[in-house]
Amino acid sequence: MVLDSLNILVQLMRISMRAFRCRELVNSVYSLAKLQFCPPEIFVEACPFLCRLEDQMTSHDVANLVWAYSTASVPNENLLQILERKAAALSTSMRLKELASILYGFANMQSGSPELFSVLAERARRSTQWLNPQEMYNIAW
């Protein structure tokens, strides 16, 4: 029954995703990954729409997408390049939880440039004075 409901949700997403705003599409993809329901075709189909929404992405969106595509094991080179560029550009305003998700996702996919990891490591280094135990755990994870 739950599987049937998720399949219906994916079909509705497939029909509607071209009309989704950035946050709606990001949240849809993230939710499927969080539920561990990751049909690769829906992640692949979402990529061109997500790429067109690049200018609307926040650091939260980037973190959720990197994590979701890593969790789904559906890397897309075009989307990953965009997410890497956005992560570097938004790094100064990024929360540490977002930083941890991005680091984890790119490392898990064995993707991301050394330059990106340097930028994100510098961001984490500058923020260590404000780390609480949960944030330290998130970065280490």
Tens-digit pLDDT profile for residues 39-49:
889 999 999 99
Tens-digit pLDDT profile for residues 84-108:
999 999 988 888 888 888 988 988 8
Tens-digit pLDDT profile for residues 11-23:
888 888 899 999 9
pTM: 0.85
Alpha carbon distances (Å) from 62 to 2, 6, 38, 51:
28, 24, 18, 11
Alpha carbon distances (Å) from 128 to 107, 118, 124, 137:
21, 15, 6, 12
Structure tokens at 73: 């094991």
Strand, helix or coil at 132? Answer: coil
Task: Count the helices and strands in the chain (H runs, E runs).
Answer: 8, 0
Q: What is the pLDDT, as a whole number, of residue 129?
A: 53
